[in-house]
Amino acid sequence: MNLPPALLKTLLAGTARAPVATDSVGAALQTVLACAPPEMLIWHSVAATDLWQRAGQSPAQTAPQASCEPEATCPRAAEQVLHLILRGIHPEQLDQWLATAARMGYRLPHASLVPLLEKVTPRHALQAQVAALMGKRGHWLAAQNPAWATLCSAPEQSSAALWQTGALAQRCKALVDMRRADPAAALAALVQEWVQEPADNRIALLPCLATALSLDDEAFLERALDDKRKEVRQSAQQLLAALPGTGFEQRALARLHAALRVDAGTLHITLPDTRDGAMQRDGIGMEKHHGMGEKAGWLLDMVQQVTPRHWSAQWQATPAQVIALMAASEFKTAMLTGLTRAAARMIGHDTSADARDWFMTLILQDDPARTQVHTVHLLTPQLACLPPEQQDQILAQWIAQRAWGHAVNWAATRSEALSAPLSRSLLAAVQRDMAALTTHDYSMRANLKALGSVLDADDTAYATAGWPASDWPAWPHYREVVDEMMDTLQFRHTMQRSFLESKP
């Protein structure tokens, strides 16, 4: 029960200090309470308010009910699986259920609309997926409750209109759409509003120029290097570093050519004594790097601003040879970390053959000299930029290198499960390593929990084989989590099959 503020004040302070006011309850109840004895008015008011709220009320103006035109709702079996998820049985699979329904062109079952609308709050990550599957009836229903209003279909607005009147997130999306349609016009719109934009808006809007980035953006980005906010300057530096042929690139190359020299197969490094104003403006030394000295951090910043393909051309070397040169230097961690960051940025803007070659070489290197360089951590977020066959090639290599934990972590971020061959290889690697364990390994336990959501679930027979042998010392530690993994896998199998069943 939610009491009106005036009535709550009377209850807390007492009628002697805060008498019951005539407007302590809603106007609709004031007539009913007019005949209440003065000494009982406070209690009658509380009772009437409680009954009023529990009884509910009709909207002041109810929209006409949505037409009952037939919509392609999911099969009954899939609806039953959704009900299980909403009741708390494998709730982590809701996003996969919604993704499967969207892929197959189904709308949400009508009986599930209210539970889903209640579940998907304005901050829920699945709000957009639910809104896309609600259908006409769902959008009509959402319009009847103010708490669900954010899920209602909004009138279509042009990108230009949203850019002028939308919230910040809408303006960012509008700017990206405008960049796709007319990059020059979008840049002009941003330039026109830039001076009067608050700092938080500038921070959010500038990265939108990554869409259709070109040399036409250079002059504006150079001005952004002098912005008062560090986050804006960092975005400008990253965008300029992704553009070949800019003054920013020339300044970065000049610094590195003065600092690096290859002689007789050895990389010699001479770092500057001071950080001049131009270096500061371009972001050199802007952030501290954990475990590195100040000048090593400068070197990292300088290297990450240059595209990796430059070193292949400059030193007439393959990516593997460049990596070996840097790994043999006294500043190997700074050099290789900068190189890895540059490769991650490059693949985000350029998926040419040599860019992919650099990415593949770095992420699949198995060199102990680079143990302090978090190569996989830095590059994995960009794996989605590669063609599917190269993604699978990397996953297969990780499994072969006994680094299958990387494969599990990456697969957990994908919207689709692993292929059947990769699933079989991955599970075999897990069983092989588990059989060799003699103590409890917490990373193994975490990876096992994730396996149930990433393995191929079309046919689960392969997943039941190979467990366990009598000579597995650590099996008692993992029996329960393996059972949980198998339960998740079987649930996903049932969910997938449910969408293929014919409607009654």
Q: How confident is the model at residue 503 (pLDDT cuts 50, 70, 90)?
A: low
Q: Is 147 exposed, middle or buried (0-12, 13-18, 19+ CB in 10 A)?
A: exposed
Q: How confident is the model at residue 59 (pLDDT cuts 50, 70, 90)?
A: low
Cα(362)–Cα(380) distance, integer angstroms: 11
Please, are residues 447 and 402 in contact by the beta-carbon 8 Å criterion? no
Residue type, 459: D
Q: How far is CA 5 from the centre of its chain?
A: 41
C-alpha R_g of the chain: 30
Please, are residues 342 and 306 in contact by the beta-carbon 8 Å criterion? yes
Nearest to 289 by CA among 361, 212, 372, 207: 372
Per-residue DSSP letters for 422-469?
A: HHHHHHHHHHHHHHH--S--HHHHHHHHHHHHHS--S--GGGGTT---
Predicted model pTM? 0.75
Token digits of residue 417: 């499960």
Q: How confident is the model at residue 504 (pLDDT cuts 50, 70, 90)?
A: low
For residue 40, pLDDT beyond 60:
yes
Q: What is the pLDDT of residues 119-162, one digit of tens each?
A: 887 667 888 889 889 888 888 888 888 888 777 755 667 889 98
Sign of CA dihedral 282, 288, 289, 294: positive
With tokens 């941003």, the residue in question is 190
Minimum mean pLDDT among 58-62, 274-278, 287-291, 393-397: which range?
58-62
Nearest to 49 by CA among 68, 36, 64, 30: 30
According to DSSP, residue 269 is labeled: E
Please, are residues 466 and 431 in contact by the beta-carbon 8 Å criterion? yes
Query: Residue 432 phi/psi, 5° resolution?
Result: -65, -45
Cα(3)–Cα(17) distance, integer angstroms: 18
Residues forming beta bridges with residue 268, ordered by sequence position: 261
Buried-exposed string 346-380: b where 16+ CB fall within 10 A, e elsewhere: bbbbbeeeebbbbbbbbbbbeeeebeebebbebbb
User: C-alpha dihedral over 279, 281, 284, 285, to 10 degrees?
Assistant: 110
Cα(372)–Cα(350) distance, integer angstroms: 27
Residue type, 344: A
pLDDT at 68: 54
Q: What is the pLDDT of residues 364-391, one digit of tens each?
A: 886 544 556 788 889 999 999 999 899 9
Q: What is the 3-state secondary structure (H, E, C) of 282-316?
A: CCCCCCCCCCCCHHHHHHHHHHHCCCCHHHHHHHC
Minimum mean pLDDT among 34-43, 182-191, 369-378: which range?
369-378
Residue-level length of the chain: 504
**Three-state DSSP class for residue 42:** helix
